[in-house]
Amino acid sequence: YFPNGQMSDERLSYKLGFYDWFLDYAQKLRDEGNSLIVTGDFNTAHNEIDLKNPAPNAKRSGFLRIERDILDKMVNMGYVDTFRHFYPEAVEYSWWSYRFNARKNNAGWRIDYFFVTRDLIENNIVKDAFIDNDIFGSDHCPVGLVVQV
């Protein structure tokens, strides 16, 4: 679970600091020769396709350019957003607010990810990624990854 930055400027700074710490830590693991699967609620929608209403949310934590830049940085560091890799044009979400009938209206955000190091894609270890948005019971739905070693 990556921190949420919506409560205050201090909380946003904490979120951004956590992202930086995490990427440094992950890089140390990669420098040791490890392949990585990074998963969880990142609390950031990466691109406009990843949320229902990008324009009105552009100044809201979770879709701020500064937050999205960190996900761009991950990609530039050699991580692959597995769902977007397999489904580049799919409009699916993994989180909906409990307010305003968001889930019923499918006004969601894709903030839950599986990022993997590129070698896991290139070596055909990652076979598929999915969002199971037919599962209810939370404001999030399950996301998954199919791997074969």
Residue whose token pair is 């350019």: 65
What is the set of active-site residues? 41
pLDDT at 7: 76
For residue 2, tell me if it sits in a domain.
no
Q: How far is Cα 149 from Cα 30, in angstroms, rounded to an integer?
A: 19
CA atoms within 13 A on the CB side of 86: 18
149, 133, 142, 77: which is closest to 114 by C-alpha? 142
How do residues 87-103 score in pLDDT, each as one tens digit? 999 999 999 999 999 99
pLDDT > 90? residue 6: no
For residue 42, tell me if it sits in a domain.
yes
CATH of the domain at 14: 3.60.10.10
Q: Which domain holds residue 112?
A: 9-147
| CB neighbour burial string for 60-76, b if at least 16 within 10 angstroms, e if fewer | ebbbbeebbebbeebee
Q: What is the pTM of this model?
A: 0.95
| Counted domains in the chain | 1
